[in-house]
Structure 1
Amino acid sequence: MEFYQRYIAAGQVSVPNLLLEHYHELGMDAEELVFWLQLFSCQERGQFPDLAQVAQNMGVSQTRIFQLLAQADEKNNLRLVTQKDAQGKQTDSYDFSPLFDKLAKLYEQKAQSQSDKKIADKISNLYQTFEQEFGRPLSPLEFERIAGWLNEDQYDPELIRLALKEAVTHQARNLSYIDRILLNWESKNLRNKEEVANEQARRKLQIRQKAADKPQTGQNASLPPVTLHNPFKED
């Protein structure tokens, strides 16, 4: 019971999993991380860290603790903030936001890297799809033209793939035809696969409606009414 009460009274510190997973990528070793967590834990409990107690908790000398504090400041993992209250009394605290800022930046870089890899894979697959549909390797000029669609015109790779599919459907396996398809879509402000699909569905609906409204001719034309009077029967 006494242990449970002490456990509750000691409180807990919430540590981001991203920090535990990527602290080494932020330039910290395990000892530096534990030291940072010791200081962070004290301040979370509303206490200014006692470096002598931190040294005892970590089982190292106070000299080593001062070295770790200097390293944390040098690596911008924390900073000491001094403030004055209304009576002019100074209070010190540690600001731990620099490390969280570095962690956020690392996360953004990783997300961007993953996004860039996905785009690179899409582009690589796009070139392979062209060669499969054309049944031959692409020429340097063809590579350059497709690259122009991607880099200069900023067409989405999926949009280019869809234009290729449209061209193949019409037995037109050449880049000039595909370019006209892309320009036509651009003139209608169709910039992705979903918008093209919606436009195509709208056009099909219009065609069906026109066909339904068109007057019937030939065998389906309206026939004159058939009389029941027999002209060969005398009245």
Structure 2
Amino acid sequence: MDDFIHRYIAAGQTSIANYLIDHYREVGMSNDQFLIYLQVRRQIDRGDELPDAEILAQRLGWDKSRVYQVLHELISGKLMSIATVTNSQGQKQDSYDFSLLTDKLSHLAAQETRQTVQKAATTDRATVFNQIETEFGRPLSPLEMESINQWLDEDHYQPELIQLALKEAVLSQAYSLKYMDRILLSWEKKHLTTAVQVQRERERQEPRRSKAPDSAANTAIPDVPIFKLTDR
């Protein structure tokens, strides 16, 4: 047992990124290519920059011609290349290089991020439409849908900002997109583009409002109607 533990520790470990394990097929790597990658990575970690095909064949139980074929597939599939490196003795030697594989994984990650953002935007848009229809108590007309899409796509109002304007309209019993548009425009003129900025502006105005005398003239839309996101 002690001998096994000594040999187990002496053999070292090969570190493989979990992202690669999860997505190697998505970047075009087959199971056989992944096995070759693992064996090549193991040898590189042990200082063998260009492992001999015979060693790889022995590890995998393959014949050498199959190893050469899979190595060629990795190169032709732009998952691996052969680069010239300088070793610790200052000598130049060839080495298997997996930078192309890393690049493909990074592009995949960027694509996943874009898809996540697009999915979130689609969900937010649907939420805005559903909330307005719920509060108005009726389906939106095509023209109203076009107006909301314009708020999101052309005016670039954040969904949560539109939701705040909807809340103000409902509290004022003004079930109208025109009313909401006036609120959004009033915020835009004050350069308030996020719900957080709107909330801060309200907090800044609270002391002045508490000191102002009551007036019957406050029948128009409040200067900057703001509500906390937690308000229901």
| TM-score of Structure 1 vs Structure 2, range by shorter chain | 0.7 to 0.9
Counterpart of 1:146?
148
Moved more, 163-172 or 64-73: 163-172
Quickly say closer, same or farther: Cα 1:89–1:45, change in 2 above 3 A.
Answer: closer
1:127 is matched with which residue: 106, 129, 140? 129
Counterpart of 1:108?
110
Is 1:175 aligned to 2:177, yes or no? yes
Higher relative contact order (CA 8 A, sep 6+): 2
CA contact 1:123–1:157 (8 Å) conserved in 2: yes
CA contact 1:83–1:90 (8 Å) conserved in 2: yes
Which deviations, in whole Å up to 9, do the C-alpha atoms of 1:187-217 show, x marking residues without a partner? 1111111111111222223211345xxxxxx
CA contact 1:40–1:96 (8 Å) conserved in 2: no
Structure with bigger gyration radius: 1
Separation in 1 of the partners of 2:90 and 2:193? 62
Separation in 1 of the partners of 2:12 and 2:131? 59
Counterpart of 1:205?
207
- Residue identity opposite 1:59 in structure 2: G
- Residue identity opposite 1:25 in structure 2: E
Is 1:4 aligned to 2:10, yes or no? no
1:43-58 matches, cutoff 5 A: 43-47=44-48, 48-58=50-60
List alignment gaps of at least 5 residues for structure 1. Answer: 212-235
Separation in 2 of the partners of 1:101 and 1:142? 45
- Residue identity opposite 1:194 in structure 2: V
**Aligned with 2:7: secondary structure?**
helix
**Aligned with 1:81: secondary structure?**
strand
1:178-189 matches, cutoff 5 A: 178-189=180-191
Deviation above 6 Å: which 4+ runs of structure 1? none
Separation in 2 of the partners of 1:140 and 1:15? 53
Shift of 1:9: 2.0
1:26-41 matches, cutoff 5 A: 26-41=27-42
Separation in 2 of the partners of 1:88 and 1:4? 36
Aligned residues: 211
List alignment gaps of at least 5 residues for structure 2. Answer: 214-232
- Residue identity opposite 1:100 in structure 2: T
**Normalized against structure 1, the TM-score is what?**
0.84
Shift of 1:120: 0.5
CA contact 1:26–1:102 (8 Å) conserved in 2: yes
Moved more, 169-178 or 202-211: 202-211
Shift of 1:155: 0.8
RMSD: 1.9
Counterpart of 1:163?
165
Separation in 2 of the partners of 1:202 and 1:89? 68
**Aligned with 1:15: secondary structure?**
coil
Separation in 2 of the partners of 1:193 and 1:141? 26
**Aligned with 1:24: secondary structure?**
coil
**Normalized against structure 2, the TM-score is what?**
0.85
Separation in 2 of the partners of 1:191 and 1:44? 52
Counterpart of 1:14?
15
Shift of 1:34: 1.0
